[in-house]
Amino acid sequence: DAGVIQSPRHEVTEMGQEVTLRCKPISGHDYLFWYRQTMMRGLELLIYFNNNVPIDDSGMPEDRFSAKMPNASFSTLKIQPSEPRDSAVYFCASNSWGRSYGSYTFGSGTRLTVV
Amino acid sequence: QKEVEQDPGPLSVPEGAIVSLNCTYSNSAFQYFMWYRQYSRKGPELLMYTYSSGNKEDGRFTAQVDKSSKYISLFIRDSQPSDSATYLCAMSVTGANSKLTFGKGITLSVRP
């Protein structure tokens, strides 16, 4: 299994541009999570999906952020327009919540820099 | 007050030392408690988990949960330079809501 695959690994963009981050979860996992990590705030949950349906998007900072999961093997996180304060590492994670517990498998992250 | 508070770092110890990492939390509904390890420029990976109160041991690592005090700990015995990483505690409520709430993490450096 290749694990959770995120692309791109690094993204540098100018303020005001649209940014799209991509994630391929582990096959068979029915939960997908988008997190943002910064030194100041740590790991923050932005949104998560169960069976491709958004369950909780209360962590999405503002309307500039949107996320989709058109099928079980693909999700996107879009920022439009981007701002310098969006600079962070964005992680995608997936898991399968069984009868007892599930453990997240994280991707390697996308390091976003908005200048 | 954040739901999960983790001791600030960084922490530097000599090789062979016993390391104690701690988190406190405010939400009494948390039932699952986990420790993730994150190496530089990588995603976090699950190290240990415990359900409800008690201890769990895995090799050099021991996780403790005290629900009455809302306090969890991770102990590392005979620490190795390869243990140098950021350690994050994480917690979850049982049921359909499976989202994890993470502490900010503490960076550990084990000096040879």
CA atoms of A107 and A42, how far apart (whole Å)? 16
pLDDT in tens, chain A (115 residues): 679 999 999 999 999 999 999 999 999 888 899 999 998 889 999 999 999 999 999 999 889 999 999 999 999 999 999 999 999 999 999 988 764 455 789 999 999 999 9
Contact (CB<8Å) B97/A56: yes
Question: Which tokens sit at A5?
Answer: 């695959």
- CA B24 to chain A, closest CA, distance in angstroms equals 16
Q: Parallel, antiparallel, or unpaired: how do β-strands B85-93 and B101-102 relate?
A: antiparallel
Which pLDDT does position A101 carry in this prediction? 58
Q: Please answer whether residues B76 and B83 qualify as being in contact, where contact means their C-beta atoms are separated by less than 8 angstroms.
A: yes
Give the model's confidence band at B58: pLDDT under 50 very low, under 70 low, under 90 confident, else very high: very high
Give the model's confidence band at B8: pLDDT under 50 very low, under 70 low, under 90 confident, else very high: confident
Identify the bridge partners of residue A77 per DSSP, sorted by sequence position.
A21, A67
Mean pLDDT along residues B80-107: 87
Identify the bridge partners of residue A104 per DSSP, sorted by sequence position.
none
Chain A partners within 8 Å of B85 (Cβ): none
Round to the nearest angstrom and report the end-to-end CA distance of chain A: 36
Mean pLDDT along residues B13-22: 97
pLDDT tops 90 at residue B49: no
Q: Which residue has the higher pLDDT, B112 or B92?
A: B112
Nearest to B49 among A56, A103, A108 (CB): A103
Q: Which residue has the higher pLDDT, B9 or A90?
A: A90
Which pLDDT does position A1 carry in this prediction? 65
Angle CA B87–B91–B92, to nearest 5: 150
Mean per-residue pLDDT over chain B, rounded: 91
Chain B partners within 8 Å of A48 (Cβ): 99
Closest chain B residue to the Cα of A42, Cα to Cα = B104
Percent of chain B with pLDDT over 70: 95
The secondary structure of chain B as a DSSP string is --SEEE----EEEETT--EEEEEEE--TTEEEEEEEEE-TTS--EEEEEEESSEEEEETTEEEEEETTTTEEEEEESS--GGG-EEEEEEEEESSS----EE---EEEEEE-
pLDDT tops 60 at residue B95: no
Which pLDDT does position A95 carry in this prediction? 86
